[in-house]
Amino acid sequence: MKLNPSSRAEKSLDVFRPSEYTCLVLQYLQDHPEVARERRTCEIGTGNGVIAAQAAMQGASAVVVSDIEDQALAAAKDCLASLDAPSCSFEFHLGPMWSPFANRRFDLILANLPQFPCEASVLSDRLHSWSVGGSDGRALLDRFVAGLDEHLAVGGRAVFAHNSFVGLDKTRAVVEAAGLEMTVERAVTVLLAPTKVAALPLGLAAYAPHIYPVGNYVFGHVSLAVVCKNH
Ligand SMILES: C[S@@+](CC[C@H](N)C(=O)[O-])C[C@H]1O[C@@H](n2cnc3c(N)ncnc32)[C@H](O)[C@@H]1O
């Protein structure tokens, strides 16, 4: 793998650096190497591009990524250009949610979307679009989940990070109403930045047990949701 220290990706590393949420998706792909192999793969909100890169490294036949930020697509291009994946084709699309993918289906859909319950940017070292999920955190998740049936091929699956405190049951209800199946594969605990905690629209108790204080710090649970289209 070549590393280019003067690349645009390096210049934007502080803004687009991967997080524990990213790692959750990466870990799943590493633990299930068959999931990406020879699959037409889409990642919405690719940011730094590493989730898409992991799929390409594990043998995806095509990797199609999107973001609403020009800068993110530039970082993703740098990331994916560094790979040695000659049998994988790449596409980069600028645009929100499903709009770049009209009439297209994929075997594997990956995402780590903005989903923190807040209305305005809460992290001074990220772009506004990084984590703002609206008052209930679901503004993007709802649009994402609503499009899964239309954009998953039969036999396909979607794998996405999902804050446990923004309603896994709501997501499951929408998924199952569409005839899809959802499992929650794993959950991790992450430290929440004080600015995030301060921006929560409701008091901490409203998010218990998935957001909770320990001493002077506040932690949150993040799950990994897997949705399968079996027929
Ligand atoms: C939490 S970051 C995740 C980035 C990267 N996938 C990762 O795991 O590090 C969310 C990404 O979604 C992008 N984004 C925000 N709103 C979007 C939208 N409506 N459609 C597509 N991407 C969006 C952001 O620009 C950002 O790159």
18: three-class secondary structure by DSSP: coil
Q: Would residue 202 count as lying in a domain?
A: no
Q: What is the CATH number of the domain that holds 105?
A: 3.40.50.150
User: pLDDT digit string (tens) for 89-103?
Assistant: 999 999 999 999 999
- The Å distance, Cα 159 to ligand 1 centre, comes to 15
Taking CA atoms, 93 is separated from 42, 63, 74, in Å, by 11, 11, 11
**For ligand 1, atom 2, which residue shows the shortest CA distance?**
130
63-72, 124-133, 198-207: least confidently modelled range: 124-133
Q: Residue 130: which of 194, 72, 193 has the closest Cα? A: 72
CA–CA–CA angle 23, 185, 104 (5° rounding): 80
Report pLDDT for 1: 44
Question: Which range marks the domain in which residue 65 is found?
Answer: 8-189+221-228
What is the domain count for the chain? 1
CA gap 135, 87 in Å, rounded:
42
Confirm if 97 and 44 have CB atoms less than 8 A apart: yes
What is the arithmetic mean of pLDDT over 98-110?
Answer: 98
- Ligand 1 shell residues, CB under 6 Å: 18-19, 21-22, 44-48, 51, 66-69, 72, 96-97, 112-114, 129-131, 140
